[in-house]
Chain A
């Protein structure tokens, strides 16, 4: 992949709202070229979407819980872990699924409105799948940092207004 494409991806990964004109100035390309690069990267599935990182704990009256679940499964001959992973990641409650090395097989991130809702998902949907051997649910108590962004970061500029 071209250097400029990687530079573009890194910029967008940090800030999906950066507009084409600004990007074009930053990476020294025409706005049209930047647009073309973005379309190409979308087609190649290098860019999958544009999302916003929300700290829901700062949203008034919003209630929600998240959990990380360690899942042990029996891999299926011929398709390995992929088949079982796909049966899990298609549930809308599931926000992320990773195949892991180590003590368990799949790491599943689940979000729900209440602890009860997440518990019910685990006991009724996840653990009842044929190939699931066991689950260990860890509820997230507090988010400190996500995708490289520190929550509650004090972003005041501590420098003097003018200096040599």
Chain B
């Protein structure tokens, strides 16, 4: 098969830099991995059991395109409780195959060819590619360590052109763990309102915030009507493999997204939807317990990294830390490759999340304290050998 048959747009897509590290690390033995972007916890048992039960009961058929109405109602109640934003479950909520699908169809629902979408880097690896595949043009803005990896309204303002249609924001952030507070969101919102920009707000890590409750962009004055709030069950309920997310937003946009969804996916997996319903109804304690663990691990890792000479700010959320490796004089990729080869610790080089990630690495602390302790010991030895 020759690549001549492939669409140019797809040929031009850059392969994810994470893939390379996966290939390297998975061939080695005795690796402690801090490269995993998902919880180490198994899905809470009550959720698994509820999904079993639904299968036993014979719930194996399609659901409504937008998802089980009961689940959409539960999502709507949850968003009202957690963020004080209300959505009509019949018209304004769509259950998707992970938050990733929600991002994809949000972009496809919004973009005309050539429309620009502002992407704040460092960020989840899929955003830019999703914009390109939807016919748009990604315009990147760099959040920097000087501002604790938080994008400023001025930076966004500077990136706006006549073609700017939307922005993708992710707070709490993968890979930096940065959390935008209500004030910072409000300042950004002002720019978005002034320029009539739609926000695709990836809030998948919202529950995993450790110092103060995360705010939703949709709760900021004037933003609900221009925000597509995207979240899901993967991170907070440890349900990554279930592939279940959702989008909530203005009726027109959600209905347009539902149209794409119905022609391409039909509906999210039924058994996963039944599990998700149980997660929302009775999963609160599990989330609290996991969040406590993540907070303790975050504290542990940030202290250990700073002690070994890798300067690292205390991130407010998600389960990543993003320390600087500049003190070693190495590039992110060099650091990650050598660390893997010499000490068998897998981390993800920061540059795969965007140019402004160069000089940093992403360490996930979604792993046991025992493993984290071992990883920190190995990294400390590595840094000692290589620091300039």
Contacts and interface: CB of A to CB of B under 8 A. Distances in A.
Contacts of B348: 162
B78 interface: no
Closest 8 CB pairs of A and B: A162-B35, A26-B296, A162-B22, A25-B300, A161-B25, A25-B303, A161-B26, A162-B21
Contacts of B35: 161-163
**What interface size band does chain A fall in?**
10 to 19
A26 B36 CA distance: 21
Interface in A1-28: 7, 11, 18, 22, 25-28
Q: Which of B22, B348, B369 has the most CB of A within 10 A?
A: B369
Contact of B33 (A11, A18, A161, A164): A161
Contacts, number: 59
Interface of B: 16, 18, 21-22, 25-26, 31, 33, 35-38, 40, 124-126, 174, 292, 296-297, 299-300, 303-304, 346, 348, 367, 369, 373
B347 to A, nearest CB: 9
Contacts of A45: none
A159 B369 CA distance: 17
A15 B29 CA distance: 27
B31 A161 contact: yes
Interface of A: 7, 11, 18, 22, 25-28, 157, 159-164
Interface of chain A: mostly helix, strand, loop or mixed: loop
Nearest to A160: B22
Contacts of A157: 33, 40, 367
Given A26-B369, A159-B38, A164 B125 contact: yes
Nearest to A163: B37
B40 A164 contact: no
A27 B296 contact: yes
